[in-house]
Amino acid sequence: MIFDRDGTLIKYVPYLINIEDLEIDQRIFPQLRKLNRIYKFGIISNQSAIGRGFATESHVAEINSKIISIFGEQDIRFEFIKICGHTPEDKCKCRKPGTALFDEAKKEFGILASESYYIGDSLIDIEFAYNSGMKPAFVNREEINITEDICISGENLYTVLESFLKGKHADTRIN
Ligand SMILES: [Zn+2]
């Protein structure tokens, strides 16, 4: 299972820079612990705050290690966190929906895309899941009308994981 960061695993804050603004819904800890026994976890995230000059790469890395350690204290292990620090204008291959970061993770960790889920909160995340051959799960934070075929959705990660644990996900056909 691969997760988006902001608005999915952690509370959405535009360009999260202050570590004090880092907030995680405690209800997801037991859910993730259960799922972590079955699935390996990773994070793939766009962090254009770097490219826009709002944050340095090391500052984002510091926030990311904090996130990993908060989950670690809850016995939830993330194998990797991969970020793209570019802006859309950079036209790089690693910014979602580009698949470069997933391709890298696939090689490093032997991930089977068709058996993997990508959970995110934007249409770009759904597109990224499709581009990568993963099954998209959607945190519909902004109650967007979606026409894309997704295997599971909910208003926040807690409800998405709740449905997932109840086996209420439809495994969509990936073209
Ligand atoms: Zn990039």
Q: Counting beta carbons within 10 angstroms of the beta carbon of residue 61, is it exposed (0 to 12), middle (13 to 18) or buried (19 or more)?
A: middle
Span 1-12, pLDDT tens digits: 999 999 999 999
88: domain CATH number is 3.40.50.1000
Domain with 110 in it: 2-165
Indicate if 4 belongs to the active site: yes
Helix, strand, coil tally for the chain in percent (to 5): 35, 15, 45
User: How many domains are there within the chain?
Assistant: 1
Question: DSSP string spanning 96-130?
Answer: TTS-HHHHHHHHHHT--GGG-EEEESSHHHHHHHH
What is the CA(107)–ligand 1 centre distance, in A? Answer: 18
Span 142-174, pLDDT tens digits: 888 888 888 899 999 999 999 999 987 766 544
List the shell of residues around ion ligand 1, using CB closer than 5 Å. Answer: 84, 86, 92, 94-95
Domain annotation covers residue 144: yes
Q: Can you read off the two tokens belonging to residue 160?
A: 């998405």
Contact of 152 with 8, CB cutoff 8 Å = no
pTM for the full model? 0.94
